[in-house]
């Protein structure tokens, strides 16, 4: 299939390479020429502009930092909606506000372009291994049409609803993840301050109703204060901003999420933006020192 | 072994019966004569007072509602510390403040009585089936001595530290459990308000880093608004009070726990005290209606 | 002075009228022709477009609902920055994100236009009476130049810092106001639930260190549950969104503000958007019913 | 009048001295003999025990650190309820949980002793100057009977309801005060991080709807980071514990109070217990550094 791929960063680059390896024709573009060239080395084709990347594409995948970049690629004069062919399916795999996805989808429909929002979880590791989880919003038929493409980059691929739904599920995921890190951090601080070995205590929690993937994967590293990413605080801070915005757009009040967002913001304000998101523990520690 | 068992309620009654079945001599006492009689029917012996229940005991288990009852049984004129024999091991399986457990242990030591705090999780089901999780604080030797007794009523039995440590771990467990319920509730409210099927959305969360025992066990019932207990809001409210008190005693600040405790209090204020703790969803819903 | 006035709503309309009355030549524009006409009746001149309103102006005042409208008026093809004369001073009296004000100011500087952000407090009453409080960000010289114009519409007029500073101070004001409403609401709920007459209790609070303008002005109406606006929840919800955004832009974590924003969002979700912001009491009440 | 005065600390000592000066016969007792002697030097009489202090008293005032001390003085074998005369009025001016005051009042009634709870605000300065604010719970007739005594130590003296009501109002006061400090702290952190002079910004806030006694009295010292007490964090931490307990006893959920209590706890955990409560600013700062 002819695939345009825009945004060849830490996530996009291995995803595009996996698509090449799977036999697709991938025309890539990134604002960094170096990155675009790297794709060519990996067997893809390099485009000099968004317009060039999308010109022949049946599917365009975007993997960009945030809403402004997605909007520029979608709505720009030389952008996807102006330059893409009728019938093109645009899969935005960036994590952005649900509202952004809905606006892109509406504008795309006017141009005869079909849009899906398909944010992922699983991080760099998942991008390299092609084992991402993908939450897809948009029309069921469009989802079905590109499922084989998504299956190259991910293993868990779920259609969760109409345009924006993928982003909403991603936002829900991130607010729960951020919150559990905060709760585990508070548990550790309480255990340690009470003279209880946190490792043994968390073992008990992990085995009962308090159990979670985060306790399974991160409790030992958290107790040892090892915070190499993984998924960076900076990114989780961005995602909490999206969760807060999504709640606002949906007209709902989420009190815990409101507080969790500020605690993640604190981790960043304290200079831990490049650490793993489990470093939320440092915020709960610091508030006590 | 000669076991005194004080507190024969929903939890204590099946626990005592399991000990009888395992071949122990169990002398039970409850302020309700009816409950005491029920133990006799099950093969135990009924005592007319705490003093009578503890007089011949090598081990005394208490399973009581809260700190005041534990203090009365321990410190009362006819109580355990006055009437129990030297060398007796007192296992308090009630959920109380760590500080209460420490004070009981100190006073017991003066009398030559050895005290363990051993709160449980697993609920009525676990008490009936003998599959409770038990978090034990106190001296390692005392723990070793009574391990076979605890193995009758529970399956996961962990020594987590000195006197009070069992209660601290239980408090940590409950703050994490309460918090995850709150986070899942906020996720559900966000998904539904955004027009996303919450069942499908939570399936994705359950399969990724947001995954938890609570999502595994309760997401379907929460989405269907089925809140038959399980573990009642009233009890979780009591436990959040203990978590807040434990933090105060340990001199630590736990911001999320502070908010979670108020949300659980809201569930109770709204009249949901007898529903399952997953009914925290009703609080997040109501704040939005 | 020749003044262009864009945005003739509940606030802008009486402000423009006051400027007319003070002898200024006011050319007004609103997307609603009806509103534009009303200014003409009041002695101003009506413009058919932003371009027409700003063409001859020495000062342009904008009083618009939110950032998108300000950006459209400022950056649009027929907008202020394209159509305004060199040396023009643009006073944006809308309440928007500090970041919006800074971007407008930067773009204006390129065009030789001087920009001030000058959000107000005091509500419709203050707009009608010309007694608004005005917080001004921008260059001191520009502030000095338009001070006489601002003195027509307000009484407390303070230059608080560079571009965006007016908006930041407004955001700080609104987070404190929203928070105090929440605290007073919690005090009322506690007093009433404890069987204490809230009126008498709040009288004591008002006389001591807990005293505040809000207690002075609103405690009687809050206890009586009278919530006629005043300043609407919808507007305060918008302002809390700005406060949260301002914190994010400044890179700081504000935990109480994070929670207050969600409580105000709840008031809106519960359908109280048109009530006075003191109706935050209804949220604290409802969480308890 | 014959007055027994128990608890001659920083607050009690000058209050007792003021009563002596006003012509009352004051028999004082404190667990510290030194303090008791100091009262004798000031013209009072020193008692060697609670029993001796209350034996001849028509009125007994207690000014003690917390609930356990009040309970010991009230319920102890040589305590007030055992040793006091029928008709005695007990005024507990300590700040304790409303529940404690209600239990003392109930037990007192059985003995023919009339009890009032009468916590104060105004600090050491108010105690020395006799200008305390006093919130009184209990029977109106008893309040009327001792009003002249209270008028010696305070200036604002309000009967707010039945037994415990004084403590409830004090708790409401302290939760509002703690919360406003937190909000002002967040405003300062936002202003400074945004490059706005906090002094000028807070001047604007102080003049509008965000205005408060705390802004009036403390904004300059907070901006200068001057935190000499005043009222110590340690005491406010104790009072927030009472507010949380009072909410629990009243069966209400207070979300902001739950978070404020943890922030005050953080100030203490960070070692600022002896600073003025305005040092809550240090917590909001530290979370951002």
How far lies C112's CA from each of B66, B285, C79, C81, C272, in Å? 73, 52, 15, 9, 44
Contacts of B18 (CB under 8 A, 6+ apart): B127, B130, B152, B153
- In chain D, residues with a C-beta closer than 8 Å to the C-beta of C191 are 168-169, 172
A230 band by pLDDT with thresholds 50, 70 and 90: confident
Task: Let me know whether D6 and D139 are in one domain.
Answer: yes
What is the Cα–Cα distance from C44 to C21, expressed in whole angstroms? 9
Q: What angle do helix axes C67-75 and C98-110 make, rounded to 10 degrees? A: 0
Task: Let me know whether C84 and C199 are in one domain.
Answer: no
Provide the number of structural domains found in chain C.
2
Task: Let me know whether B40 and B157 are in one domain.
Answer: yes
Task: Let me know whether A16 and A149 are in one domain.
Answer: yes
D253 with B269: Cβ contact below 8 A: yes
Task: Let me know whether A154 and A268 are in one domain.
Answer: no
Q: Is residue B111 annotated as a catalytic residue, yes or no?
A: no
CATH of the domain at C262: 1.10.1040.10
Pick the last residue of a domain from D137, D162, D187: D162
- In chain A, residues with a C-beta closer than 8 Å to the C-beta of C263 are 253, 255
Pick the last residue of a domain from D146, D162, D178: D162
Phi then psi for residue B47, to 5 deg, are: -110, 150
DSSP category for residue C11: T
Which pLDDT tens digit goes with each residue over D83-98? 999 999 999 999 999 9
Name the strand (E) or helix (H) holding B72.
helix B67-75
Contacts of A47 (CB under 8 A, 6+ apart): A4, A27, A28, A29, A36, A53
Rounded to two decimals, the pTM is 0.96
Q: Which single residue is written with the structure tokens 């965006």?
A: C164
A204 with B169: Cβ contact below 8 A: yes
Tokens representing residue C189 in the block = 């709920």
CATH of the domain at B68: 3.40.50.720
A123 band by pLDDT with thresholds 50, 70 and 90: confident
> Considering CB atoms only, which of C255, C259, C288 is closest to B266?
C288
| Averaged pLDDT, D189-210 | 96
Q: Could you tell me which of B95, B127, B116, B92 has the C-alpha nearest to residue B6?
A: B92
Residue C259 contacts residue A258 (beta carbons within 8 Å): yes
Question: Is residue C218 reached through a cis peptide bond, with omega within 30 degrees of 0 on the bond before it?
Answer: no
Task: Let me know whether C97 and C198 are in one domain.
Answer: no
What is the Cα–Cα distance from C261 to D129, expressed in whole angstroms? 41
Q: Which of D125 and B91 is assigned the larger pLDDT?
A: B91
List the alpha helices (DSSP H) in C130-197.
Answer: 140-153, 165-193
Task: Let me know whether D233 and D127 are in one domain.
Answer: no
Q: What chain D residue is nearest to A270 in terms of C-alpha separation?
A: D289
Residues belonging to chain B with any Cβ–Cβ distance to chain C shorter than 8 Å: 255, 259, 266, 269-270, 283, 286-289
The complex's ipTM works out to 0.96
> Considering CB atoms only, which of B160, B194, B257 is closest to A246?
B194
Residue A248 contacts residue C243 (beta carbons within 8 Å): no
Tokens representing residue D188 in the block = 């300062």
Tokens representing residue C136 in the block = 């001004």
Whole-number average pLDDT of chain A: 97
C195 with D162: Cβ contact below 8 A: yes
DSSP output for D32-87: SHHHHHHHHHTT-EE-SSHHHHHTT-SEEEE--SSHHHHHHHHHSTTSHHHHSPTT
Which pLDDT tens digit goes with each residue over C145-203? 999 999 999 999 999 999 999 999 999 999 999 999 999 999 999 999 999 999 999 99
Secondary structure (3-state) at A46:
strand
> Considering CB atoms only, which of B173, B186, B288 is closest to A256?
B186
Contacts of C125 (CB under 8 A, 6+ apart): C131
Task: Let me know whether B65 and B179 are in one domain.
Answer: no
Pick the last residue of a domain from D162, D179, D201: D162
Burial of B128 (0-12, 13-18, 19+ CB in 10 A): middle
The rounded percent of chain A whose pLDDT value lies above 70 is: 100
Phi then psi for residue A40, to 5 deg, are: -60, -40
Q: So what's the pLDDT on residue D278?
A: 98
D201 alpha carbon, distance to own chain's centre? 32
Q: What chain C residue is nearest to A267 in terms of C-alpha separation?
A: C253
Task: Let me know whether B85 and B149 are in one domain.
Answer: yes
Q: Could you tell me which of B253, C97, D97 has the C-alpha nearest to residue A288?
A: B253
Would you give per-residue pLDDT tens digits along chain B (289 residues)? 999 999 999 999 999 999 999 999 999 999 999 999 999 999 999 999 999 999 999 999 999 999 999 999 999 988 999 999 999 999 999 999 999 999 999 999 999 999 999 999 988 899 999 999 999 999 999 999 999 999 999 999 999 999 999 999 999 999 999 999 999 999 999 999 999 999 999 999 999 999 999 999 999 999 999 999 989 999 999 999 999 999 999 999 999 999 999 999 999 999 999 999 999 999 999 999 9
Task: Let me know whether A179 and A148 are in one domain.
Answer: no
Catalytic one of C170, C218, C238, C282: C170
- The set of chains that have 3 or more CB pairs under 8 A with C is A, B, D
B256 with A256: Cβ contact below 8 A: yes
Residues of chain C with pLDDT under 70: none
Domain containing residue D242: 168-286
C255 with B259: Cβ contact below 8 A: no
Task: Let me know whether D252 and D174 are in one domain.
Answer: yes
Q: Could you tell me which of B275, B121, B226 has the C-alpha nearest to residue A211?
A: B121
| Averaged pLDDT, A12-37 | 97
Q: So what's the pLDDT on residue C230?
A: 86
B289 with C283: Cβ contact below 8 A: no
Select the residue from B257, B265, B282, B287 to test the D interface by mutation, using most D Cβ atoms within 10 A: B265
D253 with B241: Cβ contact below 8 A: no
- In chain B, residues with a C-beta closer than 8 Å to the C-beta of A254 are 186, 189-190, 284
Secondary structure (3-state) at D105:
helix
Beta bridge pairs of residue D205: none
> Considering CB atoms only, which of D255, D259, D286 is closest to A286?
D286
- In chain B, residues with a C-beta closer than 8 Å to the C-beta of A201 are 135, 160-161, 165, 168-169, 172
Task: Let me know whether B175 and B98 are in one domain.
Answer: no
Q: So what's the pLDDT on residue C123?
A: 86
Residues belonging to chain A with any Cβ–Cβ distance to chain D shorter than 8 Å: 255, 259, 266, 269-270, 283, 286-289
- In chain D, residues with a C-beta closer than 8 Å to the C-beta of C213 are 208-212
pLDDT exceeds cutoff 90 at D230: no
B196 with A169: Cβ contact below 8 A: yes
| Averaged pLDDT, D188-196 | 98
A48 band by pLDDT with thresholds 50, 70 and 90: very high
């Amino acid at each position: 299939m002819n695939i345009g791929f825009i945004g060849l960063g830490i996530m996009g680059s291995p995803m595009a390479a996996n698509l090449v390896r799977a036999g697709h024709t991938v025309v890539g573009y990134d604002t960094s020429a170096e990155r675009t060239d790297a794709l060519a080395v990996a067997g893809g084709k390099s485009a000099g502009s968004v317009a060039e990347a999308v010109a022949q594409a049946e599917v365009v995948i975007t993997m960009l930092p945030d809403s402004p970049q997605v909007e520029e690629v979608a709505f720009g004069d030389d952008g996807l909606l102006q330059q893409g062919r009728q019938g093109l399916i645009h899969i935005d795999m960036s994590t952005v506000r649900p509202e952004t996805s809905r606006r892109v989808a509406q504008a795309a429909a006017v141009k005869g372009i079909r849009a899906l929002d398909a944010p992922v979880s699983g991080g760099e590791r998942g991008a390299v291994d092609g084992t991402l989880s993908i939450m897809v919003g948009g029309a069921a038929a469009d989802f079905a049409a590109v499922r084989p493409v998504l299956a190259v980059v991910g293993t868990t691929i779920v259609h969760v609803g109409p345009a924006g739904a993928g982003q909403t599920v991603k936002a829900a995921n991130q607010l729960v993840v951020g919150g559990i890190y905060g709760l585990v951090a508070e548990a550790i601080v309480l255990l340690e301050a009470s003279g209880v070995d946190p490792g043994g205590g968390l073992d008990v929690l992990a085995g009962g109703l308090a159990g979670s993937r985060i306790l399974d994967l991160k409790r030992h590293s958290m107790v040892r204060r090892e915070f190499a990413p993984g998924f960076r605080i900076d990114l989780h801070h961005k995602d909490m901003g999206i969760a807060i915005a999504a709640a606002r757009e949906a007209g709902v009040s989420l009190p815990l999420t409101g507080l969790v967002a500020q605690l993640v913001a604190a981790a960043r304000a304290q200079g831990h933006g490049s650490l793993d998101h489990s470093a939320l523990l440092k915020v709960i520690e610091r508030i006590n020192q």
